[in-house]
């Protein structure tokens, strides 16, 4: 069984591997951080949050300062989907945001008797149901 753990990652309980939800690329050992299996780009934050006021005249411009802040972008090595971003000081190692107890996850889903991908949802509310149904019909969300 595949259990959706983030927008772009599932844990395959059969192989105990992180797997891309978009292209099914194997990412890595589900007992470890998925980030080890991704491509990583150290982004200058000014490329994303671009200055709104003139950076040649002013110190504070709406852009983060690259000597304070970098954006680590993590991509699936199979399809290039940007799986996650980290905002970190320069040189800071990637954060380990999730370490899952895979055995407990398996036990949880076996006990439920449900298929994790079939029952996956984004939560309650009329707007959630409406928008999710619309985007699923057009293939915009999984």
Partner 1 sequence: MTAIDESPATKLTVQEQEWVDRFMDDTTLFLGPDPEIMRDHSIAPRSDLEEIVLAEGVDRMQVERIRKRIAGALDEGYEMCEAQGAAPGAKWGDLTTAIYTAAGDVAYLSCHGVIAFSAILHHPIRYINKYWKNEPTVGVNPGDGFIHNDARFGNVHNTDQSMIMPIMRDGEIIAWVAATIHEGENGACEPGGMPSGSETPFDDGLRMSPFKIVEAGHLRRDLLTFLQHSVRDPKLQLADLKVKITAVRKIMERIDKVIDEVGVDTFVGALRTTVEDVDVEVRRRIGELPDGTYRFDQFMDSTLKENILIKIACKVTVKGDSMVVDLRGTGPEILNRAINSPLCSVKSMMMQAILAFWWPDLPRCTSAMSCIEIISDEGTWADASYDAPMGQSLQASFRGFSAFQALYSRMSFSTPHKYSNVVANWYNQINTFLWGGITQHGDMVGNLCADLNGMPGGAKPFRDGEDAVSPLFCAMADTAEQEVMEEEVPFMQLVSKRLVRDNMGFGKFNGGMGYEMIVAAEGTAQWGFMTVTSGSKFSSIYGMYGGYGCGAYPLAMVKGTNVYEHIRQDNKKFDLSIEKVMNERPFEDGRYMTYHMGLQFDIAKDGELYMISQGAGGGYGDPLERLPESVVKDAELGRITQHVAESIFAVRYDPEELPARCRGHAAGPSGGPPGALAAGQAVRRVLRRVRHHGAAEGPSLLRVVG
Residue 93 phi, psi (nearest 5): -65, 160
CA distances from 15 to 20, 107, 131 (A): 13, 15, 33
Considering the complex, what minimum distance in angstroms separates the CB of residue 54 from partner 1? 5
Considering the complex, what minimum distance in angstroms separates the CB of residue 26 from partner 1? 18
Question: Which CB sits closer to partner 1, 36 or 49?
Answer: 49
Considering the complex, what minimum distance in angstroms separates the CB of residue 57 from partner 1? 7
9-28 binders of partner 1 (CB under 8 A): none
Confirm or reject binding of residue 47 to partner 1 (CB under 8 A). yes
59-88 binders of partner 1 (CB under 8 A): 59-65, 68-69, 71, 74-75, 79-88
Among 91, 111, 126, 137, binds partner 1 (CB under 8 A): 137
CA distances from 76 to 20, 30, 46, 62, 73 (A): 7, 15, 23, 29, 10
Tell me how long the chain is. Answer: 142
Closest CA to 3 of 117, 141, 122, 121: 117
């Amino acid at each position: 069984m595949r259990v959706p753990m983030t927008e772009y990652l599932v844990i395959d309980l059969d192989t105990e591997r992180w797997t891309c939800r978009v292209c099914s690329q194997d990412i890595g050992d589900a007992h470890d951080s998925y980030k080890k299996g991704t491509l990583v780009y150290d982004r200058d934050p000014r490329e994303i949050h671009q200055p709104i006021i003139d950076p040649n005249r002013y110190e504070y411009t709406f852009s983060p300062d690259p000597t304070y802040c970098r954006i680590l972008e993590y991509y699936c090595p199979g399809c290039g989907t940007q799986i996650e971003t980290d905002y970190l000081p320069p040189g800071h190692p990637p954060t380990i945001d999730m370490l899952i107890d895979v055995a407990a996850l398996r036990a949880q889903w076996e006990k439920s008797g449900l298929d994790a991908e079939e029952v996956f949802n984004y939560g309650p509310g009329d707007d959630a149901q409406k928008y999710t149904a619309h985007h699923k019909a057009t293939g915009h969300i999984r």
